[in-house]
Amino acid sequence: MSTQTPTQPERCAICGCVLHRNGGYAHPTYEARSHATGHHLVAERFFGRSGNRAGESRDSIFSSCPWNSEHVSKVFCYECHEIMLHNPVLLTEDIDTFSEIVRARGFDEDIKPRDYNRIGGRIRLFHEIIAAGLKALSKTTPQ
């Protein structure tokens, strides 16, 4: 009888599916849907780095992470990462309401300024909205 603890399978941080790293990422196959993929919770580009173009630099939106989560990443399945997280659904009324809040908070723009304070404000606001929605729904979701 083995005294070793069985290795837990790697799972998606959102849907919980068992992940694999057998190749075929982004191929249109059943297996590719559960391929493991890492994702920075706060985009590297916000700090002037390119996640997929090493060495390429751009202007930083944030000099330090507003959420103290720079470099933090999670592992997801292809579906949760590439299909869902990268393609949030925002309907016309959602955009209109977001734009109203952006204006109310003073993060709207006329001519693009040289600095990134207002886009930084919009990014922080967008996260605030997601966090508020999660908090509201987690209270009503059956456990």
Residue with tokens 């404000």: 121
Residue 120 beta carbon to Zn ion: minimum distance, rounded to whole angstroms:
29
Binding Zn ion (rule: CB under 5 A), the pick from 32, 42, 61, 80 is: 80
Per the document, the length of the chain is 143
**47: its two tokens:** 């700090």
Name which of 61 and 80 has its Cβ closer to Zn ion. Answer: 80
Binding mask 30-69 for Zn ion (x = CB under 5 A): ----------------------------------------
Q: Per rule CB under 5 A, is residue 85 in the interface with Zn ion?
A: no
Rounded alpha-carbon distances, angstroms, from residue 134 to 47, 51, 101, 131: 26, 27, 18, 5
Residue 76 beta carbon to Zn ion: minimum distance, rounded to whole angstroms:
5
Q: Per rule CB under 5 A, is residue 77 in the interface with Zn ion?
A: yes
* Residues forming a β-bridge with 37: 76
Alpha carbon distance 48, 64 (integer Å): 11
Q: Per rule CB under 5 A, is residue 15 in the interface with Zn ion?
A: yes
Taking alpha carbons only, the member of 107, 94, 99, 100 closest to residue 133 is 94
The span of 3-11, 62-70, 78-86, 131-139 binding Zn ion (CB under 5 A) equals: 78-86
Q: Per rule CB under 5 A, is residue 12 in the interface with Zn ion?
A: yes
Residues 23, 28, 33, 36, Cα dihedral to 10°: 30
Name which of 15 and 18 has its Cβ closer to Zn ion. Answer: 15
Residues lying near Zn ion in the complex (CB under 5 A): 12, 14-15, 77, 80
